[in-house]
Amino acid sequence: MTHPLSGMEALSWPNPELLADLARLRDRSPLVHCITNAVVTNFTANVLLAVGAAPAMVVTVEEVEEFVRIASALLVNVGTITAPDADAMLEAAGTAGRSGTPWVLDPVAAGVLAYRTSVVDKLVGLSPTVIRGNASEILALNGLNGGGRGVDSTVSSVEALPAAVELARSTGAVVALSGKIDYVTDGEQIISVEGGHELMSRVTGMGCTLGALIAAFLPVSSSPLRAAATASAIFGAVGEHAATKSGGPGSFAVEFLDRLSTIGL
């Protein structure tokens, strides 16, 4: 890093700012345009509805420009990318830049597979507001070998923290680095968020869903850094609570949605 960080902060649920952001989200019900992977579309939509946002999956290149202009935020997740998806994602991200729509890039398995890595490189060049990934993905985006084998990360989040800071500085995006501890940074400040439960790694697409939740907070939080931290803290708190009430990954997902719909009320 070329210059020192200006601050480091630990965030946990609840606090007044988190509650205020959440109340604002529920009041405004931001329309979140999702171009996400086939595995998590249903759960992502249900998570956004549970928290109080309005999800819409509009995925074809013929429609994304028009819809990004209506939407409050955009999520682009490359998990099951195909060539037509790539066209739609690039068109949507380009439009978001022109229309000022904040957007989240989730570079699933970047660095593992050449095709998606090249698409992700182009997407990063279109100035995402937030990049959310695990340690392997963040290392890969920073030009390093993250050693992932897909959605799993084989290094811990703290090991990738320097790369996250550098990536934030080089791209101008807030970087949300997911792991046992989540770190969120804009290249100057780092916010760490503890929470969550290991059951979250036994339900598909929890990380993808956090990306969607960050997108939902972008229109209602005071900054992208704050949006990413708020979403991570709420996500972790809901996960912890759901784990105490569930008997395995099936009931965990059910409890997660129930709890997300009432947290802070």
Q: Which stretch binds its own copies (CB under 8 A): 156-164, 181-189, 201-209, 213-221?
A: 201-209
- CA distances for 57 relative to 73, 238, 261, angstroms: 12, 24, 20
Dist. CA 3–CA 136, nearest whole Å:
24
Helix (H, G, I), strand (E, B) or coil at 106: strand
Question: CB 260: neighbour CB atoms within 10 A?
Answer: 25
Which one of the spans 173-181, 215-223, 224-232, 249-257 is the region binding its own copies (CB under 8 A)? 249-257
Nearest approach, Cβ of 232 to its own copies (angstroms)?
Answer: 20
Nearest distance, CB of residue 229 and its own copies, angstroms = 25
Q: Give the residue, chosen from 152, 154, 172, 222, that forms a contact with its own copies under the rule CB under 8 A.
A: 152
Shortest reach from residue 180's CB to its own copies, in Å: 17
Per-residue burial over 58-78, b if 16 or more Cβ lie within 10 Å, else e, is bbeeeebbebbeebbbbbbbb
Smallest distance, its own copies to C-beta of residue 116, A: 7
Selected binder of its own copies within 76, 109, 190, 210 (CB under 8 A): 109
Would you count residue 28 as binding its own copies (CB under 8 A)?
no
The amino acid sitting at 244 is T
Rounded to whole angstroms, the Cα distance separating 90 from 103 reads 12
Shortest CB 193 distance to its own copies, Å: 23
Nearer to its own copies, 23 or 57 (CB): 57
CB nearer to its own copies: give 53 or 167.
53
Which of 25, 31, 176, 214 binds its own copies (CB under 8 A)? It is 31
Q: What is the DSSP letter of 160?
A: G
Q: Which residues contact 124 (CB under 8 A, 6 or more apart)?
A: 105, 107, 131, 141, 171, 173
Please pick, from the candidates 67, 103, 217, 235, the single residue that binds its own copies as defined by CB under 8 A. 67
Residue 55 burial (CB < 10 Å; 0-12/13-18/19+)? Answer: buried
Please tell me whether residue 208 adopts helix, strand or coil conformation. Answer: helix
Asked if residue 84 binds its own copies (CB under 8 A), the reply is yes
Decide whether 20 or 39 has the Cβ nearer to its own copies: 39
Which tokens sit at 82? Answer: 């195909």
Q: What amino acid occupies position 3?
A: H
Among 121, 150, 156, 180, binds its own copies (CB under 8 A): 150
- Out of 8, 15, 38, 99, the only residue in the binding site for its own copies (CB under 8 A) is 38
- Chain residues that interact with its own copies, rule: CB under 8 A: 31, 37-43, 45-46, 49-50, 54-60, 62-63, 66-67, 70, 79-84, 109, 112-116, 149-152, 201-205, 246-251, 253-262
